[in-house]
Structure 1
Amino acid sequence: MKCDWGLASVPRIPLHKGLSLRQVLEENDLLAEFLKQHRTDIGSKYLPSSLAGGHQGLEPLANFLETEYFGTISIGTPPQEFTVVFDTGSSDFWVPSVFCNSHACKAHRRYDPYLSSTFQDTRKTLSIYYSDGRMQGFLGYDTLKISDLVATQQAFGLSTQELGGIFTHATFDGVLGLAYPSLSSSEATPVFDHMMKEGLVSQGLFSIYLSRRSNESVITFGAINDSHYTSPIHWMPVTQAMYWQIAVDEITVDGRVVACGGGCQAILDTGTSLIAGPSPDIVGIQYLIGATKSRNGLYQVDCRKLQRLPDVVFHIDGVKYPLTATTYTNENGGICYSGFEGDSGGQWILGVVFIREYYSIFDRAHQRVGLAKAV
């Protein structure tokens, strides 16, 4: 999960950067009440559970505050349901367990291995450290069901302790990492790798469509959904098989290079809400888009001026990916917040703000990423 969670085991890029709207609610002591009123029971009511044809799985994603997108999975026999973030910025898969008495666990659904006839214990411990907390537990195997895809003996973590306020306030139960195996804290086989090994998907790729609308976002395993994009798909190689990392040529505003002048690396991360980058570069971009820091430390933009603000353009593999002011800001209660955030350890992270605009295809079979203008 991410909202300023760092990755596991060794110092890495934070898992979930900058949930600015969440921070606003917390600042005004409104978050707890908001969560009570807006918890979403997601499921098949949003979208069909599968695409036509075999070896494809389509899972609808709920949209929380345009910062978190999560779907429903089930574990065990009979199945126990959980909501998880499908996170391209991490590789671990875990859910709360009945052995966890932390307040965060009690606020969410907890997996009970005694209720599953297919559970297997590995007797291996698991620790995942985040910048705002940590999860501790152990590894097990059980049947995982996502949409119509059923993976037997899938490794996953069962939390026994969850420390940190971010876990308590999370609107979902757990995290399902979709990055490379080299990023796994436990050395367990990540979910999509396991799907490919079991031949559950017809293609070794998955695609993600994130929408501002409440019931249209979806992750598709094993297929590309033509209805979610308009422009041609541009493919670029993964530059390091850990995160979904790609090379960026430069970032411009009004035709002037404002960051990545000599090229830089960036990761596509569905578990990060904003676009994060080195603080000096981000401060420069905030200035150019007219964003000013408010009392709560967040950058705000005058909503009345959005139509006059410049595009921020990411040049990737020779192709321009512009973001307009209406796409790089989030509006809440009449206030527009910048979708850029600094201090990411020097790494550019293209989070939800970017992925909402560009349908993203994660192709493990060919070690590449595809981007196309989202509908």
Structure 2
Amino acid sequence: MRLSTATLWILAAFSNCAIATTAAGVFKIPIHKNSRHRPNTRARAFKTLKKYGHHNRLSPRDFGRLPVTDVENDVEYYGIVGIGTPPQMFKLDMDTGSSDLWIPSLKCVDHNIKCARHARFDPSLSSTVTELETPWQIAYGDGSTVSGHLAIDRIKFSDITIENQLFGMADRESSSFLEDVVDGVFGLGFPALSALSLDEEDLKGMDAATRKKINSKGGIQRMNNAVLSSIMNHAMLPAAVFGVWLGSAKDASDSDPNGSDGEFIFGSIDTTRFEGELTYLPITHSKYWQVQVEGVNLEGEDMLIQGDTIIDTGTTLLVFPAKHAKRINSAIGAKSDPWDGWILPCDSNKEGSLEFMMGGTTFLVRRQDLVREKVKHKAGWCYSAVTATPGEVMIFGDVFIRNNYCVFDVKNLAVGIAPIRRQ
């Protein structure tokens, strides 16, 4: 959930990882709401800028469902994932914009007491862990970092168990991570984006007991750095895809209080969540879930925007190059404030939609979803969901995904999109 205008320090490793499940059936990750969190569009825009420097018809059956929780005002979504034996539970950001799985370690409190707010992994409580001294680090252009050491253990969510998964234990986290509601990240991007790796040279530097333990688990070739590959290699999944539905706080009701939550479903799609047919868009860069945008319109006005965009569940807002963000925000009545960024009247026109042309199909984001929380010290003003980056990157985050069901097709390197079905 970090976007950087500089290049991430990444190492790519791609190998198989053994996966087991108790039985064929439902593999879902629910996503849940955190009522204590308060929205902060400025912070979300800042975090986003630190992060980045046809398909066969699927069965509508339920596979691999993991519900996810909506953090207040649709800021972000997390799923509950267990690591170790017995599993220690963590709130993890389900993030298609990154590829690594990492969680806080016990040591992180030694460097910053704020880490105590989060769940921390205790290796002494797991009978299946292999803790390594191999270091890892992700560094960002603004100097923020997360770093620590590697470990291998069992990962569990829904009915899926992943054996021998390589993951990062964070000993140090920058303030933006420490202040977040989630404990860590569950990256669902491509292996080429991964910052975690383990190779034969690492094995040579380990003590004999650790080498023996790793070999007993199948050796280095079984250690997979990208959790997405581990999931997609599951023999019981009918297809190497996952579908994402994100609910909206604006659509929740007394009869459906959890309408703002959502779910990730692995190996299949949920046809009840969208209208019509999915439009599949080929990936234009196999490092990200990146597809081509043919145009952007607002009430018939061409915004003169084309290019590639990243479909990113780990980003809250719609991110455009500065000139495009200015054009869209001006069209919806927003202004650029030197302290608060793009803001607009809370009672702005909320009728109509922002339209995105992709793959010959038009996808919508409701104008009401472009108006976010109130600016505390400016009565009557709210934050805009459209933010700017000094670079050329476009990112369609949760604001887009809440309006459009998304299928991430690993085998065919494509993203399927269709309008969500509203109750």
Map of 2:368 onto structure 1: 326
Map of 2:123 onto structure 1: 113
Check 1:248–1:3 CA distance in 2 against 1; reply closer, same or farther (3 A cut).
closer
User: How far did 1:153 drift?
Assistant: 0.5
User: Using the alignment, how far apart are the partners of 1:259 and 1:183 within structure 2?
Assistant: 30
Check 1:133–1:348 CA distance in 2 against 1; reply closer, same or farther (3 A cut).
same
Aligned match for 1:277, one of 304, 320, 325: 320
User: Using the alignment, how far apart are the partners of 1:5 and 1:362 within structure 2?
Assistant: 24
Q: Find out whether 1:361 has 2:407 as its counterpart.
A: yes
Aligned match for 1:99, one of 98, 107, 110: 107
Map of 2:172 onto structure 1: 161
User: Using the alignment, how far apart are the partners of 1:123 and 1:2 within structure 2?
Assistant: 25
Check 1:286–1:128 CA distance in 2 against 1; reply closer, same or farther (3 A cut).
same
Q: Which amino acid aligns with 2:195?
A: S
Map of 1:241 onto structure 2: 286
Aligned match for 2:270, one of 225, 228, 237: 225
Is the contact between residue 41 and residue 373 of structure 2 (CA under 8 Å) also seen in structure 1? no
Q: Find out whether 1:255 has 2:325 as its counterpart.
A: no
Map of 1:30 onto structure 2: none
Check 1:347–1:7 CA distance in 2 against 1; reply closer, same or farther (3 A cut).
same
Check 1:166–1:351 CA distance in 2 against 1; reply closer, same or farther (3 A cut).
same
Q: Which amino acid aligns with 1:57?
A: G
Map of 1:79 onto structure 2: 87
Map of 1:302 onto structure 2: 345
Task: Please give the secondary structure, in 1, of the residue aligned with 2:108.
Answer: coil
Task: Please give the secondary structure, in 2, of the residue aligned with 1:277.
Answer: strand
User: Using the alignment, how far apart are the partners of 1:166 and 1:94 within structure 2?
Assistant: 15
Task: Please give the secondary structure, in 2, of the residue aligned with 1:327.
Answer: helix
Deviations 1:217-260 (A, max 9, x none): 11111110112112321111111111101011111223332132
Q: Find out whether 1:340 has 2:347 as its counterpart.
A: no
Task: Please give the secondary structure, in 1, of the residue aligned with 2:340.
Answer: coil
Q: Which amino acid aligns with 2:241?
A: L
Check 1:52–1:346 CA distance in 2 against 1; reply closer, same or farther (3 A cut).
closer
User: Using the alignment, how far apart are the partners of 1:3 and 1:247 within structure 2?
Assistant: 19
Check 1:8–1:221 CA distance in 2 against 1; reply closer, same or farther (3 A cut).
same
Check 1:298–1:279 CA distance in 2 against 1; reply closer, same or farther (3 A cut).
same
Map of 1:32 onto structure 2: none
Q: Which amino acid aligns with 1:320?
A: T
Task: Please give the secondary structure, in 1, of the residue aligned with 2:248.
Answer: coil
User: Using the alignment, how far apart are the partners of 1:128 and 1:74 within structure 2?
Assistant: 23
Aligned match for 2:157, one of 125, 137, 146: 146
Q: Unaligned stretches of 5+ in structure 2?
A: 11-36, 45-58, 198-223, 250-256
Q: Find out whether 1:351 has 2:409 as its counterpart.
A: no
User: Which segment drifts farther, 250-259 or 218-227?
Assistant: 250-259
Deviations 1:143-181 (A, max 9, x none): 000111110011100011112x21222111000110100
User: How far did 1:311 drift?
Assistant: 3.0
Map of 1:13 onto structure 2: none
Aligned match for 1:21, one of 29, 39, 49: 39
Check 1:255–1:242 CA distance in 2 against 1; reply closer, same or farther (3 A cut).
same
User: How far did 1:276 drift?
Assistant: 0.3
Give TM-score scaled by structure 2 length: 0.74
Q: Which amino acid aligns with 1:276?
A: V
Give TM-score scaled by structure 1 length: 0.83
Is the contact between residue 296 and residue 356 of structure 2 (CA under 8 Å) also seen in structure 1? yes
Task: Please give the secondary structure, in 2, of the residue aligned with 1:286.
Answer: helix
Q: Which amino acid aligns with 1:22?
A: N
Map of 2:184 onto structure 1: 174
Aligned match for 2:230, one of 191, 194, 199: 194
Q: Find out whether 1:136 has 2:147 as its counterpart.
A: yes
User: How far did 1:374 drift?
Assistant: 1.0
Is the contact between residue 402 and residue 420 of structure 2 (CA under 8 Å) also seen in structure 1? yes
User: Using the alignment, how far apart are the partners of 1:78 and 1:4 within structure 2?
Assistant: 36
Q: Which amino acid aligns with 1:259?
A: L
Q: Unaligned stretches of 5+ in structure 1?
A: 11-18, 27-50
Check 1:270–1:141 CA distance in 2 against 1; reply closer, same or farther (3 A cut).
same
Aligned match for 1:206, one of 239, 242, 257: 242
Q: Which amino acid aligns with 2:321?
A: P
User: Which segment drifts farther, 114-123 or 332-341?
Assistant: 332-341
Map of 1:35 onto structure 2: none
Is the contact between residue 236 and residue 368 of structure 1 (CA under 8 Å) also seen in structure 2? yes
User: Using the alignment, how far apart are the partners of 1:68 and 1:368 within structure 2?
Assistant: 24
User: Using the alignment, how far apart are the partners of 1:295 and 1:325 within structure 2?
Assistant: 24
Task: Please give the secondary structure, in 1, of the residue aligned with 2:8.
Answer: coil
Is the contact between residue 329 and residue 339 of structure 1 (CA under 8 Å) also seen in structure 2? yes
User: Using the alignment, how far apart are the partners of 1:353 and 1:239 within structure 2?
Assistant: 22
Percent identical: 30
User: How far did 1:209 drift?
Assistant: 0.7
Larger Rg: 2
User: Using the alignment, how far apart are the partners of 2:43 and 2:244 within structure 1?
Assistant: 28
Deviations 1:92-123 (A, max 9, x none): 11000112222342221100112111111343
Q: Find out whether 1:184 has 2:194 as its counterpart.
A: yes
Is the contact between residue 104 and residue 162 of structure 1 (CA under 8 Å) also seen in structure 2? no
User: Using the alignment, how far apart are the partners of 2:160 and 2:114 within structure 1?
Assistant: 29
The 5-angstrom pairing of residues 36-47 of structure 1 reads none
Map of 1:58 onto structure 2: 65
Is the contact between residue 97 and residue 105 of structure 1 (CA under 8 Å) also seen in structure 2? no
